[in-house]
């Protein structure tokens, strides 16, 4: 795909003379610019990593731009144990994994109904979901809170005996809210898929479920990978809902664990940096694993017109 | 998994075998490619599957997103404090909001500033980077990854990293500027309420432009190369080709990017909350709502009124989005 797009691109980019010597300086400028931007973009992260490896006394004495005297992972150990990060990581996984999977499943089916089955009122449903995702979550905070405190759950599901202060509530609100964006993306993606395959399946007598699960979903894998990365990052990074819908500190997701590292009077920024790097690590790793699919998935296909 | 393999088990399925193929071709013949909607007879089982699997997410969205939003609008006309009974007080909350609540105007201004900054600076920057990276150049993948990386970071993490960089006494930037030593006048990037919003915007834009870049990179790869060739043959220069041909063709991506830019600007919360709880120059509507609703005062009616204002701003964007979609649907 890169090859197709890259072929004619330089041609279109300029009244470029056919002589090749003119190309080199322009390319050099391009590389200098892109390298500078990349460096600027990476700098905060690299500095955070660098700072997290050095003791606070050293950086406060010599500044952050100095040669290291001591390098160690001590802050990482401290950040991990002091904030109870293991527990919080587990909490986040308990919320994010089911939420992402269910969101993608439901959103795909809704998109399938809109784009492929073309059910009546499909356009209205699309608007309902997408517009819902544009609403600011803060508008829903109070009613959701009140609703969840009134929904009883058995003890084996929630030790608070309600939806409030349980993972169920947080998962439910993430699904309800995030489905909107995924429906939007999946509908666009599915509209661009070739119809022939599914029509052949219909002729062969496949039901809606078979058309969806066995014919359409395998073709959507790139889009699903892209959405999985994004949604995981978003739900993983959520701050607000856990803050509003949870009260027990030991149930909080990992983002709030960083707050445990904030000192009352004194802030050890290097410790915070170590904590930040630890918290960021899972999403960064997931990004690198799914990166290849990511770009392909966001292509959305719809631009072919 | 090759799609062929998926087809095979689909052949001997249940009772719908007779109904579906009979319906599909007749419909197809009667309206050959004319209407976008093709009505196909569905079996009972199909209807059941659709009802359950479409009904569930619809129910979720209705109850948790739309019903709660409407409830918030109702609450904004009461003086509810979360414990006693709610009393209807008309538009008193709104009156107080606009006349007697100084952080409100600041917060609105900050949210609009946020939107403006993302729309005017960060989004075009992302587009520019995408255009530059949309060719086969050396290290392209590296540049791409580096610029995209901040997107997967949480704004809370970004908030903490910004403190590392912008802290007054031993922050990296002031060290770099050489103002931390004796006699220097270090700028309090985060503590000064006139400056800190720009620092936060810079960090938010840093993340946002990487996000926009990836979306446009994907969009550009989807543009039919023959379009560009045709434009070049017609004598269009690079700029004309891009703005007259490539950019308009990417309309679906443009809409997504627009939607995301608005969402990011209105939802902005975590980064300021992580830095200083959204006070002292970093007020945002989202923070004011959260503070009033879950703060000690528990002024739920009042907080809801702020939420409704935020809602009204986003409704403008939602309507704009719906209009474009509607036009698309009609054409």
CB contact under 8 A, B225 and A8: yes
Name the residue with higher pLDDT: A103 or A48: A103
Chain A residue at shortest CA distance from B306: A139
CB contact under 8 A, B65 and A200: no
pLDDT band at residue A104 under the 50/70/90 scheme: very high
Contacts of A135 in chain B (CB under 8 A): 65, 69, 311, 314, 318
Quick: pLDDT tens for A51-90.
Answer: 888 888 887 777 777 778 888 888 899 888 888 888 999 9
A245 to chain B nearest CA, in Å?
10
Return the HEC string of chain A: CHHHHHCCHHHHHCCCCCCHHHHHHHHHHHHHHHHHHHHHHHHHHHHHHHHHCCCHHHHHHHCCCCCCCCCCCHHHHHHHHHCCHHHHHHHHHHHHHHHHHHHHHHHHHHHHHHHHHCCCCHHHHHHHHHHHHHCCHHHCHHHHHHHHHHCECCCCCCCCCECCCCHHHHHHHHHHHHHHHHHHHHHHHHHCCCCHHHHHHHHCCCCHHHHHHHHHHHHCHHHHHHHHHHHHHHHHHCCHHHHHHCCCHHHCCHHHHHHHHCCCCCCCHHHHHHHHHHHHHHHHHHHHHHHHHHHHHHCCCHHHC
The pLDDT value recorded for residue B71 is 92
Would you say residue A304 has pLDDT above 70? no
B194 to chain A nearest CA, in Å?
23
Q: According to the CATH classification, is domain A83-304 in 1.10.3810.10?
A: no
DSSP H helices in chain B:
3-7, 16-30, 44-60, 68-75, 92-99, 102-117, 123-133, 140-148, 155-166, 172-177, 196-221, 225-233, 238-240, 247-249, 251-267, 270-276, 285-294, 300-330
Task: Calculate the alpha carbon distances from B123 to A36, B115, B116, B140 in Å.
Answer: 18, 10, 10, 20
Task: Report yes or no: A240 at the B interface, CB cutoff 8 Å.
Answer: yes
Residue whose entry in the numeric block shows the structure tokens 């919320």:
A95
Domain boundaries along the sequence of chain B: 94-330
Residue whose entry in the numeric block shows the structure tokens 């959701």:
A144
The pLDDT value recorded for residue A24 is 64
Would you say residue A254 has pLDDT above 80? yes
Distance between CA atoms of B82 and B93, rounded to whole angstroms? Answer: 15
Around Cβ A191, how many Cβ atoms within 10 Å?
16
Quick: pLDDT tens for B1-51.
Answer: 333 333 333 333 334 333 334 344 444 344 444 344 444 567 888 899 999
B51 to chain A nearest CA, in Å?
10
pLDDT band at residue A298 under the 50/70/90 scheme: low
Distance between CA atoms of A158 and A248, rounded to whole angstroms? Answer: 12
Contacts of B253 in chain A (CB under 8 A): 300, 303
Contacts of B294 in chain A (CB under 8 A): 141, 243-244
CB contact under 8 A, B161 and A123: no
CB contact under 8 A, A295 and B217: yes
DSSP state at residue B88: B
Domain boundaries along the sequence of chain A: 83-304
CB contact under 8 A, B218 and A300: yes
Task: Report yes or no: A83 at the B interface, CB cutoff 8 Å.
Answer: no
Best of A95, A110, A142, A233 to disrupt the B interface by mutation (most B CBs within 10 Å)? A142
Best of B26, B127, B139, B161 to disrupt the A interface by mutation (most A CBs within 10 Å)? B161
pLDDT band at residue B254 under the 50/70/90 scheme: confident
Distance between CA atoms of B34 and A200, rounded to whole angstroms? Answer: 20
The pLDDT value recorded for residue A98 is 96
By three-state DSSP, how is residue B109 classified?
Answer: helix
Report the first-to-last Cα separation within chain B, whole angstroms: 36
Residues 6 or more apart whose Cβ sits within 8 Å of residue B205: B117, B118, B121, B122, B125
- B94-330, which class in CATH? mainly alpha
Quick: pLDDT tens for B165-207.
Answer: 887 777 778 877 877 666 777 888 888 888 889 999 998 998 8
The pLDDT value recorded for residue B77 is 93
Kindly report whether the global pTM for this prediction surpasses the value 0.80.
no
Burial A28-60 (b: 16+ CB within 10 A, else e): eeeeeebeebbeebbebbebbebbbbbbbebbe
- When mean pLDDT is compared over A161-170, B134-143, B307-316, the highest value belongs to A161-170
The pLDDT value recorded for residue B17 is 38
B280 to chain A nearest CA, in Å?
18
pLDDT band at residue B228 under the 50/70/90 scheme: confident
CB contact under 8 A, B156 and A255: yes
With a pLDDT cut of 70, the percent of chain A lying above it is 86
CB contact under 8 A, A280 and B314: no
Distance between CA atoms of B103 and A42, rounded to whole angstroms? Answer: 35
Distance between CA atoms of A133 and B264, rounded to whole angstroms? Answer: 12
Contacts of B49 in chain A (CB under 8 A): 207-209
How large is the average pLDDT for residues A148-156?
A: 88
Q: Give the closest residue to B301 by CA, choosing from B132, B78, B126, B142.
A: B78
Answer yes or no: is the ipTM higher than 0.85: no
Choose among B6, B38, B214: nearest Cβ to A118. B38
CA dihedral B20, B24, B27, B33 (to 10 degrees): 150
pLDDT band at residue A265 under the 50/70/90 scheme: low
CB contact under 8 A, A200 and B269: no
């Amino acid at each position: 795909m890169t090859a197709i797009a890259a072929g004619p691109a330089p041609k279109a980019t300029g009244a470029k003379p056919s002589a090749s010597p003119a190309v080199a300086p322009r390319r050099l400028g391009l590389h200098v610019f892109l390298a500078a931007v990349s460096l600027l973009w990476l700098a905060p992260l690299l500095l955070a990593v660098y700072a997290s490896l050095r003791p606070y006394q050293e950086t406060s004495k010599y500044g952050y731009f100095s040669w290291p005297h001591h390098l160690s992972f001590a802050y990482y150990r401290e950040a991990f144990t002091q904030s109870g990060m293991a527990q919080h990581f587990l909490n986040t996984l308990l919320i994010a994994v089911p939420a992402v999977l269910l969101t993608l499943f439901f959103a795909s089916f809704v998109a399938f109904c809109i784009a492929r089955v073309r059910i009546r009122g499909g356009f209205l449903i699309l608007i309902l979901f997408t517009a819902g995702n544009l609403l600011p979550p803060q508008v829903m905070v109070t009613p959701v809170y009140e609703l969840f405190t009134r929904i009883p759950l058995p003890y084996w599901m929630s030790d608070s005996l309600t939806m409030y202060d349980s993972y169920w509530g947080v998962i439910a609100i993430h699904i309800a809210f995030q489905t909107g964006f995924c429906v939007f993306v999946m509908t666009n993606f599915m509209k661009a898929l070739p119809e022939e395959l599914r029509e052949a399946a219909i002729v062969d007598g496949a039901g809606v479920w078979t058309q969806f699960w066995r014919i359409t979903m395998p073709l959507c894998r790139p889009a699903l990978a892209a959405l999985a990365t994004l949604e995981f990052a978003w739900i993983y990074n959520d701050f607000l809902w856990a803050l509003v819908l949870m009260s027990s500190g030991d149930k909080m997701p990992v983002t709030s664990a960083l707050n445990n590292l904030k000192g009352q009077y004194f802030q050890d920024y290097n410790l915070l940096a170590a904590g930040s790097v630890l918290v960021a690590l899972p999403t960064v790793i997931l990004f690198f694993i799914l990166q290849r699919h990511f770009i392909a998935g966001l292509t959305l296909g719809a631009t072919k017109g | 998994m090759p799609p062929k393999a998926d087809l095979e088990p689909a052949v001997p399925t249940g009772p719908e075998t007779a109904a579906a193929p009979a319906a599909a071709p007749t419909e197809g013949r009667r309206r050959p490619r004319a209407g976008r909607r093709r009505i196909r007879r569905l079996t009972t089982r199909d209807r059941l599957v659709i009802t359950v699997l479409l009904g569930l997410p619809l129910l979720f969205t209705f109850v948790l997103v739309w019903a709660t939003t409407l409830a918030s609008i109702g609450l904004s006309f009461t003086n509810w404090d979360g414990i006693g009974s709610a009393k209807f007080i008309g538009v008193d909350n709104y009156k107080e909001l606009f006349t007697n609540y100084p952080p409100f105007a600041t917060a609105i201004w900050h949210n609009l500033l946020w939107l403006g900054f993302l729309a005017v600076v960060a989004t075009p920057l992302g587009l520019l980077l995408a255009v530059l990276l949309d060719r086969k150049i050396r290290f392209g993948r590296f540049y791409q990854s580096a610029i995209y990386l901040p997107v997967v970071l949480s704004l809370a993490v970004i908030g903490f990293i910004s403190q590392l960089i912008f802290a007054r006494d031993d922050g990296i930037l002031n060290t770099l500027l050489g103002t931390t030593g004796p006699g220097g006048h270090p700028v309090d990037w985060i503590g000064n309420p006139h400056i800190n919003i720009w620092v936060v915007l810079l960090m938010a834009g840093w993340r946002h432009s990487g996000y926009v870049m990836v979306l446009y990179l994907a969009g550009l790869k989807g543009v039919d190369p023959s379009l560009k060739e045709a434009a070049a043959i017609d004598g269009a220069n690079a700029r004309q080709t891009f703005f007259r041909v490539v950019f308009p063709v990417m309309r679906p991506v443009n809409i997504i990017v627009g939607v995301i830019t608005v969402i990011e600007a209105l939802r902005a919360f975590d980064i300021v909350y992580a830095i200083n709880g959204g006070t002292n120059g970093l007020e945002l509507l989202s923070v004011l709502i959260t503070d009033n609703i879950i703060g000690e005062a528990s002024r739920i009616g009042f907080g809801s009124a702020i939420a409704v204002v935020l809602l009204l701003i986003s409704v403008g964007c939602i309507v704009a989005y719906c209009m474009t979609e509607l036009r698309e649907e009609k054409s």
